[in-house]
C-alpha cells in the first residue's frame, strides 16, 4: 500500500518528451514557443499575463458565497470563535496604518494567521530568492505551508500564496464599475499579472486540482480560486471581518480535496521506491510520487516545476518517464486536463489503430482521474447576479492520464538529418492515414512528433476532430470562427521542418541572425480583443524565403527540400497571376494561371508533400552523423507571446499588405 501525501512536488526535468526548446501553441497555456528569443523582463511578463487572464476572471463573488461554495461544510453553517491571539495581532496589524514598513505589516499578518492555521505553518516569504521558474523570482509575501514540509521549506511547497500590497490603487479589480471588473490601469495589470504568474508556479510545482491565493491591501482583501478553466475572485472585504479569519479557519479544517490536493497521488512504499529508482536510474535525493491510473500505479520523479507551464489555465500537460508497478518496467506517462468536450485521447488511438493507421504509439491505459474536473465554468454558466464584465465562454476540463509503451525522444534530438526527415515523413503519413479514417489532428508541432528507433511517431491527438464535424473550434485564445483543415496541418509540418532545421541542423547562419530570424518569424504576434493573433512575418517568409535561399546548410538535400516545400505551400498566400505578371502576354498568363490553379488543387491533399519527402530520402550521399547541434548561443524562448506551428489565417488585404487583392493573414490557428 502507498502512503498519501499532500501533495508531492511537481515533476522534474527528466522527461520522456516535451522539452521546452520546441515550438508550441501561441498562448501562455500552450506550452513552448517556436523561437529562441531573449526572455521578457519580469514586468513585461506580468503585463502580458494580465492581458491573457483578464478574459477568464469571474467576479466579484460575495465572500460568504465563496466560502459556502468551496470550503464551508454543510454541517458547519456558523463562524467559529476567533482566537484571542488573532484578535490582538489583527488590531496591531490595522493600527500600524498604511505608512508603516511593509516588512512590519508582513510580520503582524503572519502572527494574525498562525493561531488560525494551527495545522499549517505560516511564514514570511517576501525575501524568497527562487528564480527557477523560467528565470522569474517567485516571492509571494506570505505563504501557508503544510506542517510536514520540513525545515528547508520552499515556496513551491506552499498551500496558499498571499500577496500584500501597500496601496489600494494596486487592486487589479473594481467592485464599483457596472461594466468591467478587471481594471485597465498599469498598476492593476502588474498585480494581476504577478498574481497569475505565482498561481502558475503554484500549480506547476505540485499535483493540484485547483489552488487558492489571497490579495491583501491596507484594510481590504480578496480571495481567489484558480483552476484550469479560469479564476473566481471575491468582492473586496475588510481584513478585520469575520470572513477573513473564517477563510483560514475553514482551510485549516478542509479536506485535501477541498484544498486542491490531487488525492490520486501518494508516496510510494520503500520497496516500490527502491525498484523505481533502479529502473529510472534516479539518485536517492530525487523525490518520487506514485500516480494512480485506473487500477494501475506509476512512480515518477516529483521535483521542480513543470517544464512547459506558462499559464495556470488550459490542459497543463506534463509528461514523465514512469515506472509501472504492474509491468515492472519504464513507460511513458502523460498527465493533463483534457477538454471535456473532446474524445479521450486513448479512444482516438484505439480507433486509429483499428483502422490501420501506423506511426502511432501504443496505448497501455487511459482514463479520467477520479471525479476531478474544473468548476469555474459552472459558476459562470449560472450567470450570477453579481457577475461584472464579460468573461469569455469558459470550457470544462477533466483530469486525465494515459500511459504509452514507447518512450520516444524529441524531434530536436535527431541523430542525423536523414532521421529528422524520416520522422517528419512518418508523422505526415500517420496524419494522412488518419484523415482518410475521418480524423484531423489539428495540433501539429515539433513537440508532437517523436523519434523512436529512428522512426517517427505522431502523438497528442487530444485536440483532434472528426472531419464530418464542420464546426469551428471552441473559443479559446485564438479566432473561434476559423475551421482548420488538412492544408493548415500540412503547412504546420513545413513550419516544424523549418524551425527544427534552422535551430538544430548544421548551417552557416550566425547566431545573432538566427536568433533574429526565429524571433521575427515564429514569435511575431499580438493581442486583439483578447485573442492571440500572429503577425505578418511568417507569411512574408513563406512568400520570399530569403533567409532560406541565403543560408548554406551542411546537408544540401535538406536545404533543397526546404526550398521545394516552402515554395509550394506559399501558393496558399499568392494572388492569382495578372497580365502584368505575364508581361502583357496572354499565352503566358494562361500558363501561369493554370499552374497556380493546379498547385492550389494539389495542396488539398497530403500526397504532394509525402512524395517530396520520399523522393529526397531516396537520394544518395545523405550524411551519416549530422545530428542536432545543441550548443548554439540562442536564448530560450517561451517567454514572449507564443506563435504556434499552425498555418496562417485569412485576413484583410490591407493587413496583409495587398492592394485590394485577396490574401491570407498570419493569425495563429491553434486553440
CB 307 within 8 A of CB 20: yes
Q: Quote the cell numbers at residue 64.
A: 460568504
Q: Using CB atoms within 10 A of its CB, is residue 607 exposed (0-12), middle (13-18) or buried (19+)?
A: exposed
Per-residue confidence (pLDDT) for residue 536, from 0 to 100:
78
Task: State how far the alpha carbon of 577 is from the alpha carbons of 42, 93, 331, 572, 598, in Å.
Answer: 48, 74, 54, 13, 13
- Rounded CA separation 195/175 (Å): 18
Per-residue confidence (pLDDT) for residue 260, from 0 to 100:
97
Per-residue confidence (pLDDT) for residue 522, from 0 to 100:
85
- Rounded CA separation 530/533 (Å): 9
Task: State how far the alpha carbon of 576 is from the alpha carbons of 566, 573, 582, in Å.
Answer: 18, 10, 11
Q: At what angle do helices 417-436 and 607-618 cross, to 10 degrees?
A: 150
The partner residues of 650 in beta bridges, in order of sequence, read none
DSSP 285: T
474 pLDDT above the threshold of 60:
no
pLDDT digit string, tens, across residues 485-495? 999 999 999 99
Q: Which of 183, 214, 209, 187 is nearest to 198 (CA)?
A: 214
Q: How confident is the model at residue 655 (pLDDT cuts 50, 70, 90)?
A: very low
546 pLDDT above the threshold of 80:
yes
> Apex CA 144: angle with CA 139 and CA 150, to 5°?
95
Cα 525 to chain centroid distance, Å, stands at 17
- Rounded CA separation 428/434 (Å): 10
First to last CA, the chain: 41
638 pLDDT above the threshold of 90:
no
- Rounded CA separation 540/525 (Å): 14
- Rounded CA separation 402/404 (Å): 7
- Rounded CA separation 592/578 (Å): 9
Q: How confident is the model at residue 576 (pLDDT cuts 50, 70, 90)?
A: very high
- Rounded CA separation 664/644 (Å): 17
Query: Which ranges of 369-522 does DSSP label H, i.e. alpha helix?
Result: 376-381, 417-436, 486-504, 511-522
Q: Which of 440-449, 451-460, 624-633 has the lowest mean pLDDT?
A: 624-633
Q: How confident is the model at residue 137 (pLDDT cuts 50, 70, 90)?
A: confident
Cβ-based neighbour number of residue 608 at 10 Å: 18
Per-residue confidence (pLDDT) for residue 272, from 0 to 100:
98
pLDDT digit string, tens, across residues 140-186? 999 999 886 655 667 778 999 999 998 999 999 999 988 899 999 99
Task: State how far the alpha carbon of 440 is from the alpha carbons of 352, 457, 480, 643, in Å.
Answer: 11, 16, 17, 21
Q: Where do the domains of the chain lie?
A: 39-259, 409-573+602-632
Per-residue confidence (pLDDT) for residue 39, from 0 to 100:
62
Residue 262: partners with Cβ closer than 8 Å, 6 or more residues away:
7, 207, 208, 209, 369, 372, 399
* Residues written for the chain: 671
Q: What HEC string does 453-485 produce?
A: CCEEEECCCCCCEECCCCCCCCCCCCCCCCCCC
The partner residues of 61 in beta bridges, in order of sequence, read 234
Q: How confident is the model at residue 642 (pLDDT cuts 50, 70, 90)?
A: very low
pLDDT digit string, tens, across residues 393-413? 899 999 999 999 999 999 999
Supply φ then ψ for residue 536, to 5 degrees.
-95, -10
Per-residue confidence (pLDDT) for residue 653, from 0 to 100:
27
135 pLDDT above the threshold of 60:
yes
Exposure class string for 45-63: b at 16+ Cβ within 10 A, else e? bbbbbbbbbbbbbbbbbbb
CB 309 within 8 A of CB 136: no
Q: What average pLDDT does the segment 304-331 reach?
A: 88
Q: What average pLDDT does the segment 44-56 reach?
A: 89
pLDDT digit string, tens, across residues 355-370? 999 999 999 999 999 9
- Rounded CA separation 535/520 (Å): 9
Cβ-based neighbour number of residue 480 at 10 Å: 15
The residue behind cell 513537440 is 447
DSSP 507: B
9 pLDDT above the threshold of 70:
no
CATH architecture of 409-573+602-632: Orthogonal Bundle (1.10)
Between residues 17 and 460, the one the model is more confident about:
460
Amino acid at each position: 500500500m502507498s502512503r498519501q501525501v499532500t501533495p508531492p512536488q511537481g515533476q522534474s526535468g527528466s522527461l520522456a518528451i516535451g522539452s521546452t526548446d520546441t515550438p508550441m501553441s501561441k498562448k501562455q497555456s500552450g506550452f513552448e514557443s517556436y523561437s529562441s528569443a531573449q526572455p521578457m523582463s519580469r514586468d513585461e511578463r506580468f503585463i502580458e499575463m494580465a492581458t491573457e487572464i483578464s478574459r477568464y476572471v469571474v467576479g466579484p463573488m460575495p465572500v460568504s458565497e465563496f466560502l459556502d461554495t468551496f470550503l464551508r461544510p454543510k454541517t458547519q453553517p456558523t463562524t467559529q470563535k476567533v482566537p484571542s491571539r488573532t484578535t490582538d495581532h489583527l488590531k496591531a496589524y490595522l493600527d500600524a496604518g498604511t505608512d508603516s514598513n511593509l516588512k512590519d505589516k508582513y510580520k503582524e499578518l503572519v502572527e494574525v494567521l498562525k493561531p488560525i492555521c494551527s495545522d499549517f505553518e505560516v511564514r514570511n516569504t517576501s525575501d524568497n530568492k527562487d528564480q527557477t521558474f523560467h528565470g522569474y523570482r517567485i516571492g509571494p509575501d506570505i505563504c501557508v505551508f503544510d506542517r510536514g514540509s520540513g525545515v528547508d521549506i520552499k515556496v513551491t511547497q506552499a498551500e496558499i500564496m498571499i500577496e500584500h500590497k501597500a496601496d489600494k490603487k494596486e487592486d487589479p479589480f473594481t467592485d464599483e464599475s457596472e461594466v468591467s471588473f478587471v481594471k485597465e490601469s498599469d498598476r492593476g495589470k502588474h498585480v494581476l499579472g504577478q498574481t497569475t504568474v505565482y498561481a502558475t508556479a503554484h500549480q506547476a510545482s505540485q499535483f493540484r486540482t485547483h489552488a487558492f491565493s489571497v490579495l491583501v491591501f491596507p484594510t481590504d482583501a480578496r480571495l481567489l480560486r484558480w483552476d484550469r478553466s479560469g479564476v473566481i475572485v471575491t468582492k473586496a472585504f475588510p481584513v478585520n471581518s469575520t470572513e477573513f479569519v473564517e477563510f483560514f479557519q475553514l482551510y485549516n479544517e478542509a479536506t485535501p480535496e477541498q484544498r486542491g490536493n490531487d488525492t490520486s497521488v501518494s508516496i510510494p512504499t520503500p520497496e516500490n521506491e527502491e525498484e523505481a529508482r533502479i529502473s529510472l536510474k534516479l539518485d536517492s535525493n530525487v523525490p518520487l510520487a506514485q500516480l494512480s491510473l485506473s487500477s494501475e500505479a506509476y512512480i515518477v520523479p516529483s521535483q521542480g516545476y513543470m517544464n512547459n507551464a506558462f499559464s495556470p489555465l488550459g490542459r497543463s500537460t506534463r509528461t514523465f518517464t514512469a515506472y509501472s508497478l504492474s509491468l515492472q518496467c519504464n513507460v511513458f506517462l502523460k498527465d493533463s486536463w483534457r477538454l471535456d468536450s473532446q474524445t479521450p485521447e486513448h479512444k482516438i488511438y484505439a480507433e486509429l489503430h483499428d483502422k490501420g493507421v501506423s506511426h502511432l504509439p501504443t496505448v497501455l491505459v487511459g482514463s479520467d482521474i477520479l471525479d476531478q474536473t474544473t468548476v469555474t465554468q459552472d459558476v459562470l454558466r449560472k450567470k450570477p447576479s453579481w457577475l461584472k464584465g464579460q468573461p469569455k465562454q469558459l470550457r470544462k476540463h477533466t483530469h486525465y492520464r494515459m500511459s504509452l509503451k514507447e518512450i520516444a525522444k524529441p524531434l530536436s534530438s535527431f541523430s542525423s538529418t536523414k532521421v529528422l526527415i524520416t520522422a517528419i515523413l512518418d508523422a505526415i503519413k500517420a496524419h494522412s492515414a488518419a484523415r482518410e479514417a475521418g480524423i484531423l489532428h489539428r495540433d501539429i508541432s515539433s513537440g508532437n512528433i517523436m523519434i523512436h528507433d529512428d522512426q517517427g511517431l505522431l502523438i497528442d491527438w487530444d485536440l483532434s476532430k472528426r472531419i464530418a464535424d464542420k464546426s469551428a473550434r471552441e473559443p479559446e485564445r485564438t479566432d473561434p470562427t476559423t475551421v482548420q483543415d488538412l492544408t493548415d496541418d500540412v503547412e504546420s509540418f513545413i513550419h516544424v521542418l523549418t524551425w527544427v532545421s534552422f535551430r538544430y541542423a548544421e548551417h552557416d547562419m550566425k547566431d545573432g541572425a538566427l536568433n533574429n530570424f526565429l524571433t521575427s518569424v515564429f514569435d511575431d504576434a499580438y493581442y486583439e480583443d483578447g485573442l492571440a493573433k500572429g503577425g505578418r512575418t511568417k507569411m512574408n517568409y513563406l512568400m520570399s524565403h530569403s533567409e532560406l535561399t541565403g543560408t548554406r546548410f551542411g546537408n544540401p538535400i535538406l536545404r533543397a527540400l526546404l526550398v521545394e516545400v516552402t515554395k509550394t505551400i506559399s501558393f496558399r498566400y499568392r494572388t492569382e497571376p495578372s497580365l502584368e505578371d505575364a508581361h502583357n502576354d496572354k499565352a503566358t498568363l494562361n500558363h501561369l494561371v493554370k499552374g497556380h490553379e493546379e498547385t492550389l488543387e494539389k495542396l488539398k491533399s497530403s500526397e504532394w508533400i509525402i512524395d517530396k519527402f520520399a523522393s529526397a530520402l531516396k537520394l544518395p550521399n545523405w550524411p551519416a552523423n549530422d545530428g542536432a547541434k545543441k550548443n548554439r548561443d540562442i536564448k530560450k524562448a517561451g517567454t514572449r507571446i507564443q506563435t504556434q506551428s499552425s498555418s496562417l489565417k485569412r485576413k484583410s488585404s490591407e493587413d496583409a499588405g495587398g492592394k485590394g487583392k485577396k490574401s491570407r493573414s498570419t493569425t495563429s490557428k491553434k486553440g
